[in-house]
Homo-oligomer: A and B are copies of this chain.
Amino acid sequence: MNYTDLLADRTGKMGASAIREILKVVGKPGMVSLAGGIPSPDSFPMDTIKDLIDKVMSKYGSSAFQYDLSEGFTPLREAMADYLGQKGIRLSPEQVLIQSGSQGVLDSLCKVLVSKGDKIAVEAPTYLGAIQAFKPYEPCFIEMEMDDEGLIPESLEETLKNHNIKFVYTVPTFQNPTGRSISIERRKEIAEIILKYDALLVEDDPYSNLRYTGEPVPAIKTMAPDNVVYVTTLSKVLAPGLRIGVVAAPETISEWMVVVKQGVDLHTATFSQAIAAEYVAGGFLNQQLPKIIELYRPRHAAMLNALEKYFPADFTFSRPEGGMFIWVEGPEGLNLVDGYWQAVEQNVAYVPGKYFYTEETKGFSTMRLNFTMSEATVIESAIEKLAGVLKTL
């Protein structure tokens, strides 16, 4: 049987395999991977998790293992509404939905909103997982410009003026892949533009809790609550393997996301949600955060220092105050997709920046570096080695 003939029209267009192929070598023995997008297992509160599991078993018993509502496990929705309230995002528990990671949110959002050919405005570069979630719905991507302070409001306004945009997608704080954050002044401008054009903005916020320096900035959701879909996750502040995503969307969209989720996976794993509920409601998230920050802060500093010390002068890099990533831009004409293989030969891996652009021709001279997975001394020597490779290109 020729199964290729059976594939849907959308399938051939997905093509997520290039990056998968590239990253296959990352697990090779001796490799120092700056390519990861994952939290350190040392950030997981393993002892707390053990206690929480005991609590869940005695408090919820078999109901932690039964089918549950597509909307999410009620105690987790309550805990998240309360927790987000502490950050100025005021929601009732009914306005909070739990999905299977923020990936699950991005998928169901597209299923509800995006017809083939609809336009989604994204930052250039943008989160690769969002591109992977959106692509199967065959949208047309409109790229918006960024600078060191993140999304440029004028570029957003230009985009909304010239295009019929289904939604604007942004990671405003410690963006993946750049680490850039949008300043409070710009957030206000962005909120005004969104309101002016009566547009919908999806604010993806997985990293704002991971701040090593500087002051917190409020979410755009607090500035235009009716026009913003706020997305967050416990993957970076509890454990990604539980697959907990959280979304607060306008009511019509939220209702359809529940219908869609019934078809996709019925609901997110109940046991995962029960553990997460006890973690957030019990105040353990607030206790664990400083520990996670202390774990990452020296790694963050080590990478910035090493980049300063070793990288060629014609390379620039972002200086984020938090998150998991630093973005490097080399001189124009450099090809860091080809360069990747030379770095891998020297046992250092990164993600070529090209994969974070929706336009095929962009980003060849850029790369994303992760600093959460290795200790400071390992990071320093990896950056020194990588700088050596770059000088030969």
Question: Taking beta carbons and an 8 Å cutoff, which residues of A are in contact with B?
Answer: 1, 3-4, 6-11, 14, 16-17, 20, 38, 41-42, 44, 46, 49-50, 53, 57, 61-68, 100-101, 103-104, 106-107, 110-115, 118, 129, 132-137, 166-167, 198, 200, 226-227, 235, 239-243, 250-253, 256, 259-260, 262-272
Contact = CB atoms under 8 A, between A and B. Distances in A.
24 contacts: A1-B200, A1-B250, A3-B200, A6-B200, A7-B113, A7-B252, A8-B111, A8-B118, A8-B137, A9-B115, A10-B115, A65-B241, A68-B241, A101-B265, A104-B264, A107-B265, A129-B263, A241-B270, A242-B270, A243-B267, A243-B268, A269-B269, A269-B271, A269-B272
Contact of A269 (B16, B137, B242): B242
Nearest to A271: B241
B250 A8 contact: no
B133 A264 contact: yes
A14 B63 contact: no
Copies in the complex: 2
Given A42-B62, A265-B265, 13 more contacts: A1-B198, A6-B166, A7-B256, A38-B67, A65-B241, A103-B262, A133-B264, A136-B260, A242-B270, A243-B266, A243-B267, A243-B270, A269-B271
A320 B101 CA distance: 39
A267 B240 CA distance: 10
B50 A112 contact: no
B46 A66 contact: no
Q: Select the residue from A49, A61, A167, A265 with max chain B CB neighbours within 10 A.
A: A265
A68 B242 CA distance: 11
A1 B235 CA distance: 32
Q: Select the residue from A4, A41, A240, A241 with max chain B CB neighbours within 10 A.
A: A241
A57 B51 CA distance: 12
Contacts of A11: 111-113, 256
A44 B65 contact: yes
Nearest to A37: B67
Given A8-B112, A252-B4, A253-B3, A135 B65 contact: no
